[in-house]
Structure 1
Amino acid sequence: MFSPTEEQALAQVAEPPVRPHARVIRLHADDDVVISLDQLVSGTRIASEGVTVAGLVPPGHKMATRAIEPGAAVRRYGQIIGFASQPIRPGQHVHTHNLAMGDFTRDYAHAAESRPTPLAAGPATFQGIVRADGRVATRNYIGILTSVNCSATVARAIADHFRRDIHPEMLADFPNVDGVVALTHGAGCAVDPEGEGLAVLQRTLGGYACHPNFASVLVIGLGCETNQIPRLLATQGLTDGEHLRSFTIQDTGGTTRTIAHGIEQIKAMLPQANEVRRETVPASHLVIGLQCGGSDGYSGISANPVLGAAVDLLVRHGGTAILSETPEIYGAEHLLTRRAVTPEVGQKLVDRIQWWEQYCERNGAAMDNNPSAGNKAGGLTTVLEKSLGGIAKGGSTNLVEVYEYAQPVRAHGLVFMDTPGYDPVSATGQVAGGANMICFTTGRGSAYGCAPSPSVKLATNTALWLRQADDMDLNCGEVLDGGASIEELGAKLFQMLLDTASGKRSRSELHGYGQNEFVPWQLSVIT
């Protein structure tokens, strides 16, 4: 026999206390699930849904609000996020154990929802750096690029000579220079010289070589690599001159001489780079790459919609936002094609989706290898669910153009660039295309920067903000906590972007992120 005290303890374990005020969010009237804001335990009554929790539902995860038969579609955001792999009862946790991918038809309805975007009454401005050719920069670096991995060590040694934390005296007389950075990579040789992979690498390097955030650039090679510097420059319409100088280790006489030569070249570039002054320019000169990494179940509810609200303001002021990560819009691309300005633009996006399907098939992969382990721990179950939350970063304006990886972005407004979902590769393509700033949402706590373009980090929830505020620039968890609306935080973020573009350092810049995160997309077969 148990004692009365023991019987009471067992009863408490068997019947968890009811929490009548546990918080959940319903995103759409047609949804089959709600999202938990608190950890839900069995027996908790969700009065707003008329449902009692059956089992444990972690914060950020989904709970069913109605019975769902096996094979039936499950909806969040009013859209399909997967199909029930077993019977799901009201109140049960919905995740990888009972929700799976499946095929379904999307209605692309190209340009059906395209609408004119009203322009803002008065243009927003920031303090930018206007180059001689009219391009506008948000930062003022000197860059060192490599044609091949073999010259990476030399490039890093040259840049390290000018590090303010190691040799502060080297840039003491050049306060207007943000720094000297070496952007190295692991490719450039043993590839098809006529193949797509080398062409993409050259396009990426070319985009960085002429990026407005670089006052001047060195390009350093080994000398015998496939990615020969003369051809690299020729394919990108670049030539050696005052602001771009190139040489190889073999021609210069080895490692020691090449490092010394590079240091002297940088010293010669510094005085002119320091002559810049910031001046008032319209926000139409901002080109912002949109990124999300370490996403969670809150990303599509808080930080991504906040970023989308800021993007809408930017577009209204004539600026440009680059939405990317093609595998992470998969299954939600129909929401973008409907907003395309023309059927042709919508079809460009569908063509890229189909390229990815074929790319995965010929490599024995699948589009639903996303989300990552961290995404799933945060509440995201399928790539469909992740995609629907991810496209919220793009706001609500028209999709005006679609670009391939690292292509120069010329259009103003919301555009799409085809990139992988892996953040460093994706953002590298965006910066190569002209992004002079990156805006990055995270729910799990990504650490990221992207020299030469500043990166602003948005936390999806307050718990992350409190845990990792050292890496975050804005807490979008206020949306979940009821402290601010999406529109209010979107306006706050837009002002933060203008301030950052004017020179205010982001958290990732203060920590020195940016050089190691340069990762061009490698498509070639390595032989």
Structure 2
Amino acid sequence: MDHTTTFMGYYRPDGQVGIRNYVIAVANCSCANGIINQIAARVPGIVPMIHTDGCSTPRENERWRETLVGVCCNPNVYAVVLVGVGCETDDAKEIGQRVAKESKKPVFAAVVQQDGGGAKVIEAAVKAGRQFVADSARCVRQEAPISKIILATECGGSDAFSGITANPAIGYVSDWIVNNGGTSILSEIPELFGTEEILARRSISPEVGQKVKDLIYEWQERTRCLLGENTGRTLARGNMDGGLTTIQEKALGCVHKGGTSTVMDVIGYSERIGDRKGLIIMDGPGYDTDNVTGCVASGAQLFMFSTGRGNPLGYPIAPVIKICSNSKTYYAVGGDEGDMDINAGAIITDGMKPEELGEKCIEYLLDVCNGKQTRPEILGYGGAMCVWSTSSPF
């Protein structure tokens, strides 16, 4: 089937193109989450980005800083309201200036301990937020090439069918995006254990292939130090209930989300994609809530998310297309009006051909890029801005 290779999106001043047009309110430090909630309550249309970070060890704070800036610079964001406390590691106004400089989008930043306390900051932020929302409403979708899309691939609540139905369908879409000049992110490194040689052989160069192996080996060693002989069984209860037995078995299904494309590069968690094209591997955890934030910070406008057990996860500012691996779960979580967008189990129960499912997924993705809401969006399953942490704060 021939698909259009354009979509209608929102051009940003930095050249990126969003598929959504959000004004967000976010705390520079989680101590200001209550203030963010107050701002969002008083400004219809603002999306609150609630999190638990912002004041931690130097290593963790560098990751937090880059993630915060990346999320604010995501092309689905029109403008940012940023509130700092004043005693956290980074200065909110400096972060705001960086976001404005890098993305060229409108930013309001205030600090509670400098600008008269919470009530005054809320008053000023509400005024700015209302103006941002009014301005964003005047934005018009324009035609853009698929090469402007950064697709993130994710799986959560996998089962024994995921690697047979849903993940290959996502890989089909990933290849289509790449073949049309776009970018696809494959991450969740602990769920790629045992696939390092496969991915290395598919890499653009020996150097990139070695980066892939080094990253997966590093995660394996870290996991081995923590879990010892149980390293091969790092599975959630739902994974095991769904028929998976080892992480390697799960990984051999997960890797299909990357299709058959050449691995072009390996990047860090929340590292900006920039001008990179093709299949990119991003360092990140297997924990879905943390990994999706890293992908959004890297620049992904949307997700294709496979699940066998019925994971309902969405994200506040990026559409998450839920692909269910089996018909039993699809109907158990509501069927056509439930939590899932697409039933990949139709390959098994309805005789749908894998290529037919892949084509259906591409059409669905194009509709979402043009404004169609996913099931998590319709149902309000936006969730929170969770950031990967490898150590505890002081």
Normalising TM by the smaller chain, what interval?
over 0.9
- Give the corresponding residue for 2:202: 339
Q: What CA distance in whole angstroms lies between the structure 1 residues aligned with 2:9 and 2:103?
A: 26
1:524–1:232 CA distance, 2 compared to 1 (3 A): farther
Q: What CA distance in whole angstroms lies between the structure 2 residues aligned with 1:303 and 1:295?
A: 10
The reply to whether residue 498 of structure 1 matches residue 366 of structure 2 is: yes
- Give the corresponding residue for 2:352: 484
Letter in 2 for 1:390: C
Letter in 2 for 1:252: D
Q: Confirm or deny: 8 A CA contact 2:50 2:384 kept in the other structure.
A: no
1:242–1:231 CA distance, 2 compared to 1 (3 A): closer
Q: What CA distance in whole angstroms lies between the structure 2 residues aligned with 1:241 and 1:499?
A: 28
Letter in 2 for 1:249: V
Return 387-396 or 237-246, whichever deviates more: 237-246
* SS of match in other structure, 2:113: helix
1:379-421 deviation digits (Å, cap 9, x = unpaired): 0000000000001111111111111100011311111101000
- Give the corresponding residue for 1:359: 222
Q: Confirm or deny: 8 A CA contact 1:240 1:246 kept in the other structure.
A: no
- Give the corresponding residue for 2:160: 297
Letter in 2 for 1:381: T
Letter in 2 for 1:373: R
- Give the corresponding residue for 2:182: 319
Structure 1, unaligned runs of 5 or more = 1-119, 164-178
Taking the TM superposition and a 5 Å limit, the aligned residue runs for 1:25-64 are none
The structural deviation recorded for 1:228 is 2.6
Letter in 2 for 1:346: G
Q: Confirm or deny: 8 A CA contact 2:13 2:103 kept in the other structure.
A: no
Q: What CA distance in whole angstroms lies between the structure 1 residues aligned with 2:172 and 2:187?
A: 17
* SS of match in other structure, 2:114: helix
1:285–1:387 CA distance, 2 compared to 1 (3 A): same
Letter in 2 for 1:394: G
Q: What CA distance in whole angstroms lies between the structure 2 residues aligned with 1:408 and 1:123?
A: 27
1:330–1:241 CA distance, 2 compared to 1 (3 A): closer
Q: Confirm or deny: 8 A CA contact 2:190 2:220 kept in the other structure.
A: no
The structural deviation recorded for 1:255 is 2.6
1:123–1:367 CA distance, 2 compared to 1 (3 A): farther
Q: What CA distance in whole angstroms lies between the structure 2 residues aligned with 1:439 and 1:479?
A: 18
The reply to whether residue 207 of structure 1 matches residue 70 of structure 2 is: yes
1:488–1:388 CA distance, 2 compared to 1 (3 A): same
Return 399-408 or 231-240, whichever deviates more: 231-240
The structural deviation recorded for 1:518 is 1.3
1:467 to 321, 326, 332: 332
Q: What CA distance in whole angstroms lies between the structure 2 residues aligned with 1:493 and 1:204?
A: 29
The reply to whether residue 517 of structure 1 matches residue 384 of structure 2 is: yes
- Give the corresponding residue for 2:173: 310
1:508 to 376, 379, 389: 376
1:221-275 deviation digits (Å, cap 9, x = unpaired): 1111123324545777848986012111222322322222221110121232122
1:429 to 294, 307, 310: 294
Letter in 2 for 1:186: T
- Give the corresponding residue for 1:444: 309
Letter in 2 for 1:155: I
Taking the TM superposition and a 5 Å limit, the aligned residue runs for 1:15-94 are none
Letter in 1 for 2:257: K
- Give the corresponding residue for 1:180: 46
1:239–1:476 CA distance, 2 compared to 1 (3 A): closer
1:388 to 229, 243, 252: 252
The structural deviation recorded for 1:182 is 1.1
The reply to whether residue 400 of structure 1 matches residue 268 of structure 2 is: no
1 or 2 for the larger relative contact order (CA 8 Å, sep ≥6)? 2
1:241–1:504 CA distance, 2 compared to 1 (3 A): closer
Q: What CA distance in whole angstroms lies between the structure 1 residues aligned with 2:84 and 2:244?
A: 43
Q: Confirm or deny: 8 A CA contact 2:232 2:246 kept in the other structure.
A: yes
The structural deviation recorded for 1:371 is 1.2
Q: Confirm or deny: 8 A CA contact 2:108 2:125 kept in the other structure.
A: no
The structural deviation recorded for 1:153 is 0.9
Q: When you count helix as a share of all residues, which structure comes out higher? A: 2
The structural deviation recorded for 1:122 is 8.1
Q: What CA distance in whole angstroms lies between the structure 1 residues aligned with 2:322 and 2:28?
A: 30
Q: What CA distance in whole angstroms lies between the structure 2 residues aligned with 1:202 and 1:451?
A: 19
- Give the corresponding residue for 2:283: 418
Q: Confirm or deny: 8 A CA contact 2:100 2:107 kept in the other structure.
A: no
Q: Confirm or deny: 8 A CA contact 1:233 1:239 kept in the other structure.
A: no
The structural deviation recorded for 1:369 is 4.8
Q: What CA distance in whole angstroms lies between the structure 2 residues aligned with 1:214 and 1:309?
A: 28
1:121–1:496 CA distance, 2 compared to 1 (3 A): closer
Q: What CA distance in whole angstroms lies between the structure 2 residues aligned with 1:408 and 1:212?
A: 12
The structural deviation recorded for 1:467 is 1.5
The structural deviation recorded for 1:460 is 0.5
The structural deviation recorded for 1:440 is 0.6
Letter in 1 for 2:352: A
1:260 to 113, 116, 123: 123
- Give the corresponding residue for 2:136: 273
Q: Percent identity?
A: 35
Q: What TM-score results when the alignment is normalised by the length of structure 1?
A: 0.70
1:353–1:235 CA distance, 2 compared to 1 (3 A): farther
Higher alpha-carbon Rg: 1
1:253–1:235 CA distance, 2 compared to 1 (3 A): closer
The CA RMSD over aligned residues, in Å, is 2.1
The structural deviation recorded for 1:145 is 1.7
The structural deviation recorded for 1:160 is 2.2
The reply to whether residue 526 of structure 1 matches residue 393 of structure 2 is: yes
1:307–1:242 CA distance, 2 compared to 1 (3 A): closer
Q: What CA distance in whole angstroms lies between the structure 1 residues aligned with 2:305 and 2:3?
A: 27
1:241–1:249 CA distance, 2 compared to 1 (3 A): farther
Q: Confirm or deny: 8 A CA contact 1:283 1:498 kept in the other structure.
A: no
1:345–1:426 CA distance, 2 compared to 1 (3 A): same
Aligned length: 389
Letter in 1 for 2:131: A
Letter in 1 for 2:126: I
